[in-house]
Amino acid sequence: MSEETGHLGSTRSFETTEGTFTYTEVSEKLAVSLARILDQLLQTLPHEIVITPEWLCQKHRELAGHLFPEWSGRFRTTDVKVGTLEPPPYYKVPVLVHSFCDDLAERLRHVDDEDLPDMAEFLAWVDWRFQWIHPFKDFNGRIGRLVLAVLLYRLALPPVETAPTDPERRRKYLEALRAGDAGDLSPLQKLWIRRLGDAI
């Protein structure tokens, strides 16, 4: 099971090193870790942050290692299903993550930081591709949002809301991700154009 199947108020529970917690309680603990990670990243010069498979695993460990030391910071070792999405088999994850990081670096080199649709297209691809690979057992959404926050920082863009809590906005976001799964990233690109336009 993955985090994307849960939501605040979920009855799902977690066995952690600190005891049994509800989804909401775990979310609160992870929010503290995520804020600390973001604060550390903002103390780093943008061009010095390089997203690699090792970086992703390190951030996942920093996020959840205190609660789930057995599997945090490691790629998943089982197949999963996320709603209607069946991410790639677990044994393909390492290669897919390496390709994702290489593609991201190359696309970042060519993105036009004065062209809103071009930046939105790039961010939409990153947003979709990471969630499609679904590299970790859990908390992929949070790591994906961290990657997006880093890229906004690299592109000198303001922070945007990447995890809509409004039910209608969340529904549209999930529909856009599913359209990406079917090969059409235009709904997600439009969503990103709107996000960036609201923030700039």
Q: 157: number of CA atoms within 13 Å, CB side?
A: 26
The helix (H) or strand (E) run that includes residue 83 is none
Q: What CA–CA distance (Å, rounded) separates 126 from 144?
A: 8
Q: How far apart are CA 89 and CA 135, in angstroms?
A: 10
pLDDT digits (tens, 9 = 90+) for 2-35: 444 444 445 678 888 988 988 899 999 999 999 9
Number of Cβ within a 10 Å radius of residue 24: 14
Name residue 158's amino acid: P
143 is in an annotated binding site: yes
Q: Is 83 one of the annotated binding-site residues?
A: no
Reference 63, options 17, 96, 27; nearest CA is 27
Cα first-last separation, the chain: 36
**pTM value?**
0.91
- 140 in a known ligand binding site: yes
**Active-site residue among 7, 47, 66, 134?**
134
107 is in an annotated binding site: no
Tokens 């066995």 belong to: 15
Active site residue 66: no
CA–centroid distance for 40 within its chain: 18
What residues make up the domain containing 178? 3-199
C-alpha to C-alpha distance for 200 and 183, rounded to whole angstroms? 29
- Rounded Cα distance between 128 and 135, Å, is 13
Q: Which of 94, 140, 162, 132 is nearest to 2 (CA)?
A: 140
Query: Is residue 196 a contact partner of residue 155, using CB atoms and an 8 Å limit?
Result: no
Angle among Cα 152, 134, 182 to the nearest 5 degrees reads 85
* Ramachandran bin of 83, using left for φ above 0, alpha for ψ from -120 to 50, beta for the remaining angles: left
Domain count, the chain: 1
pLDDT digits (tens, 9 = 90+) for 29-85: 999 999 999 999 999 999 999 999 999 999 999 999 999 999 999 999 999 998 888
Task: Please indicate if the annotation marks 144 as binding a ligand.
Answer: yes
Q: What is the pLDDT of residues 74-132, one digit of tens each?
A: 999 999 998 888 999 999 999 999 999 999 999 999 999 889 999 999 999 999 999 99
Nearest to 182 by CA among 140, 132, 135: 132
The verdict on whether residue 141 carries a ligand-binding annotation is: yes
Q: What is the CATH number of the domain that holds 189?
A: 1.10.3290.10
